[in-house]
Each structure stands twice: as C-alpha cells, then as structure tokens.
Amino acid sequence: MPPPTLFCPGGTNSQTGEAAKERYRGASITDCGTIADVLALLDNNEGPYVIPMWNSHVGEVPVAKFIWDHVEESKIKLSDLWAKKIEFWFVKKTGIVTSHGKIGSVGLATTQCKDFLQKQNATIEAYALTNLAFEAYKNGAALDGVLVAPNQGENAAGFEVVSRRTANTNNFTSFVRFVPSRAFKDDNSANSLTGVTMRSYGTSLTEAQQSFFTELFSGIKSLEEIPKLIFVLKRTAKVGLLFEGPRLYASDLLEVNELEKDEIKVYEGAGATAKSYTSELRKLFEDEFPELNRGDFILHHGVDTWLFACPPLGLYTHGYEKETVESGVRFYISQIFQLWKNGMQCTPAQDRFFKRHEKSWLAEGSKFMQFAPVNPTGG
C-alpha cells in the first residue's frame, strides 16, 4: 500500500510538515499554501489536511478557527488529533552583524518565544509560515535572523543555527488531521469525537446545561467510560465543546423539548481517531513537561488560553476565557466524584485521590478544587 499523501501548510519543512512527518512515517507531504488557503481547497480536494489547531501559549490558532466552525456546519470530519512539543531554531546569516530589532517568524512566536525575544531586544516580523519568513530573510528582508522549524536552516549555505532553545517552557501545539465530510470513513469508532454547542454560560451553568452534563454521565460504570472534555472553544455568544470517547447521541443527552428549543446542539460523529488525544497528551507531559502532571489539579495559563488538568483522572481541558472553562470543568469533575460515591469502578490510585478530597467535596461541592498555576503568565 503506497504511503499516504498529506496536505500541510508550508510543506515538508514547516512546523506542520515536521509534525506530520513524525506522526505518519513515510507519508508524502504536499504544500497547500498557508493555513487560510486550505479553505479554498475543500470543495475540490479531499485531502487529508493537517494544520495546527491549538497552542499552549496562544490558544486557538487564529487562522485555524474555521476548524470548529466547519465542524458545526458538518463540512469537515476530524480523523486525528495530537499534541507535539514545539521548538524554534534561531537562524542567522553567518558572520553578519545587524541591529534591525526584528526577527522573522510566524506571529505566534511572539508569545511562544517571549523570553528569548526579550533577551534579544527584538520583536517578531510576522509571516504566515516559518519557511516564508526564511525565504524573505534569504532575499534581503531587514531582519536580525529568523525563528524557524528544526532543520529548516541547518544546512543552508551562508546561514547558521545560533540557538536551538528559544521557545518558552511547556510550549506545545495540537495538530488536527481532517477531511471534507464527503470523504470521511469512520474506521475508528472506539474513540469518537463529538461536538456540542451551547449558549455562553459565564460563571454558572443554566439548568438545561447542568441537565446535559448529568445525562452525559448517566449509566457510567467505570472511569474509562466517561467522555473526555478536551476543548472549550468560545465564540461571541456560545461555547463549543469537543468530547472524545464513546460516541454520543443527541437523543440520549437532551429531552425532546430541549431539542426543540435549540439551546444545546450535539454534532454526532464530528470525527473519530485511532488513538486517544488525552492519553497521548498525558504521555507528552510525562516525557517533556512533567510539572503539568505534578499534582491533583493543575492550571496552565498562556495569553488567551487556559489548560485545566486533573492528572489522577486523566482529564485535560483546553480553553480560553477562564470563567467559562473553569465553570464547566468544576461541574464536570464534581459529577465524576458523584459517580465514584455511587460505586463507579476506578484504579486503587484513583480511589485514593477521591478519598483524599472526599470531605472537601462533600462540604464545598465543586468549589473545593484548588488548581495550582504553572506558567501563570505564559512565559
């Protein structure tokens, strides 16, 4: 069987291309322009496409917001989702000293490499892709160097890698592989992705939203059966939730009158993955960012992004607008405590976790959780 062809913004040597090559060994990587250019290709090209969806320091990648919007409109299906540590190499022209005060790279590097930029007393000159920044630098752009993907400039004549350590700590990006809905084949139903949209709830859930989460946990016998809430994507007046795990159905989660009100919408079969995003994220943290797994309740704060984690339960929820994400996460975890109290199966270590917090939970409800901050300013 021939290796798959994947369409990646920037092609084989971009950050996305590097992530795709590492994920799919032997795949053929085809350049499809910039992230924004993918939109124009969907009608005539079935892909599959790989683009960055989320960054630990910035949140939802701005030009990739069409991913969630197209899930809502059933235009695309997600077929893989994974996170990867992101590094930037600082490349300069050999033997040439400049003082332009600007370094070329993608705009996200402003936040992801904040500490390095401060030391260099420089700002980012933003380009759509790192390889486009490098091309501009080669062609005479007034820059003091470029921050590019690993190996982009290592062998270029007349250039040298000055530093391989420029990214802030705990810097990772989540990548998504997707196809137009017409091209999707659900061969991975064991780990389904389900989208849910509901009215923005701020600091407290409405009665209908609480009922939704209650139904979500109905009939759960073991911790492994619980759908994992992995993304909370905020729009002006609504919140988008992405779950992974067992396939979810609107008729099981909403009453008939709630379906008619249209306050909460369930997008069944938003996609399916062969591997669990949550499990792989946990392994990435164990290998690369151990402090994000060190504790019962962890909070990682970037600029417009929040990651709430409960490592003992294997829960990691990304979002932005702290109050919205936190309210959902607290209610969600509190519901899991109730399942445990009702006899849900779990490991001995998880049982010890529940017992450790049982008194506080009974006394304070969801307010008992104290999320320990890691990288509270994102840099």
Do residue 75 and residue 217 come from a single domain? no
Residue 379 covered by a domain: no
Same domain for 219 and 137? no
pLDDT band at 378 (very low <50, low <70, confident <90, very high): very low
Cα–Cα dist 74/1, whole Å: 30
Residues 249 and 287 reside in one and the same domain? yes
Give the chain's mean pLDDT.
Answer: 88
30 is a domain residue: yes
Query: Residue type for 56, please?
Result: S
Q: What is the mean pLDDT of residues 205-209?
A: 83
Whether residue 270 is contained in a domain is answered as yes
Check whether residue 24 and residue 136 sit in a common domain: no
What pLDDT is recorded for position 112? 83
Q: What is the mean pLDDT of residues 168-175?
A: 89
Is residue 376 assigned to a domain? no
Asked if 113 and 190 sit in the same domain, the reply is: no
Residues 77 and 111 in one domain: no
- Record the tokens describing residue 172, joined without a space: 């990772």
Pair 64, 108 in one domain: no
CB 151 within 8 A of CB 24: no
Mean pLDDT of 282-289: 94
Same domain, 208 and 339: yes
Q: Are 48 and 131 part of one and the same domain?
A: no
What's the rounded Cα separation, in Å, for the pair 51 and 34?
A: 9
pTM over 0.75: yes
In a domain, 232, yes or no: yes
Is residue 91 left, alpha or beta, with left meaning phi > 0 and alpha meaning psi from -120 to 50? beta
State the Cα–Cα distance between residues 92 and 138, nearest whole angstrom. 10
pLDDT in tens, 322-351: 888 898 899 899 999 999 999 999 999 999
Q: Is the pLDDT of residue 152 over 90?
A: no
Neighbours of 326 (CB within 10 A): 20
129 shares its domain with 203 = no
DSSP bridge partners of 263: none
The encoded tokens of residue 203 equal 């600091």
pLDDT at 102: 94
Q: Is residue 229 part of a domain?
A: yes
pLDDT in tens, 114-147: 889 999 999 999 998 888 899 999 999 999 999 9
Please check whether residue 374 lies inside any domain of the structure: no
Among candidate residues 109, 143, 176, the one where a domain is terminated:
176
Work out how many domains the chain is built from and give that number.
3
Q: Residue 376: its pLDDT value, please? A: 47
Quote the CA–CA distance of 378 and 52 in Å, as a whole number: 19
Is the predicted pLDDT of residue 377 greater than 50, yes or no? no
Output the six-digit token pair for 227. 């759908």
Residue pLDDT, tens place only, 249-260: 888 887 755 554
**102: domain CATH number?**
3.40.190.10
Give the structural domain span for 223: 186-369
